[in-house]
């Protein structure tokens, strides 16, 4: 088991016609039959079709490691992704898209994690906080959120939504304070989110 604690820092060619003019002469001239010499037309040579060699499809590039923009602690890599990054990932991930949709109702956090050796499952502990109206610069803890996430392969970046049980508010933040990459199986439900308010 490896555990790391952290503080949240989220496109007709025009061919001119040629005219032939006949000129009449005033004096009769003997008729002459002109035999046009038939010039054999050149038979176009058909070129053999050029066979194009199919280029082999290159293997998918291995993910860059360590991932750019991530912080690291105890072999765990993590960062708060931007909203744009979240939406780009969600475009190809229906489960993530549904989780993001839920954040219209509830206050959520966002996180990306990765491990060099992979994890049997992830455990994310978060604080749900709001500014303290009585003390400038300080915060009140409204509750604690525990998120369990399914296994990940080595160097796989996992994008997470951390949904709290608090109704959406621009003043509420979900801040990860603990990340655990578990190497042992669990009997708990995975994935799951457990929110305990204070």
Q: Cis before residue 191, ω within 30 degrees of 0?
A: yes
Size of the chain, expressed as the number of residues it contains: 198
At 155-177, the pLDDT tens digits run: 999 999 999 999 999 999 999 99
Whether 134 shows a pLDDT value over 80: the answer reads yes
Q: Are 195 and 164 contacting, i.e. CB atoms less than 8 angstroms apart?
A: yes
Q: Are 162 and 174 contacting, i.e. CB atoms less than 8 angstroms apart?
A: yes
DSSP state of 39: P
Number of helices (H), then strands (E), in the chain: 2, 9
Lookup: tokens for 79: 């960062």
Helix extents (H) in 40-150:
83-90, 94-102
- Mean pLDDT, residues 182-197: 96
At 47-98, the pLDDT tens digits run: 666 666 666 656 555 568 889 999 999 899 999 999 999 999 999 999 999 9
Query: Higher confidence at residue 140 or residue 6?
Result: 140
pTM above 0.85, yes or no: no
Query: Is 59 strand, coil or helix?
Result: coil
């Amino acid at each position: 088991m490896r555990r790391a604690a952290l503080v949240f820092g989220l496109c007709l060619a025009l061919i001119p016609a040629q005219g032939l003019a006949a000129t009449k002469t005033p004096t009769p001239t003997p008729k002459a039959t002109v035999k046009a010499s038939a010039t054999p037309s050149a038979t176009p040579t058909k070129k053999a079709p050029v066979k194009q060699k199919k280029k082999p499809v290159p293997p998918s590039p291995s993910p860059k490691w360590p991932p750019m923009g991530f912080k690291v602690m105890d072999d765990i890599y993590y960062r708060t992704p931007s909203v744009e990054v979240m939406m780009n990932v969600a475009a190809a991930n229906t489960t993530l898209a549904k989780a993001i949709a839920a954040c219209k109702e509830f206050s959520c956090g966002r996180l990306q994690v990765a491990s060099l050796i992979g994890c049997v499952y992830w455990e994310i502990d978060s604080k749900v906080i709001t500014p303290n109206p009585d003390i400038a610069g300080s915060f009140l803890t409204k509750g604690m959120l525990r998120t369990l996430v399914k296994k990940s392969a080595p160097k796989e970046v996992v994008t997470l939504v951390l949904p709290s049980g608090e109704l959406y508010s621009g003043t509420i933040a979900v801040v990860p304070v603990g990340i655990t990459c578990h190497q042992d199986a669990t009997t708990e439900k995975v994935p799951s989110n457990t929110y305990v308010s204070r």
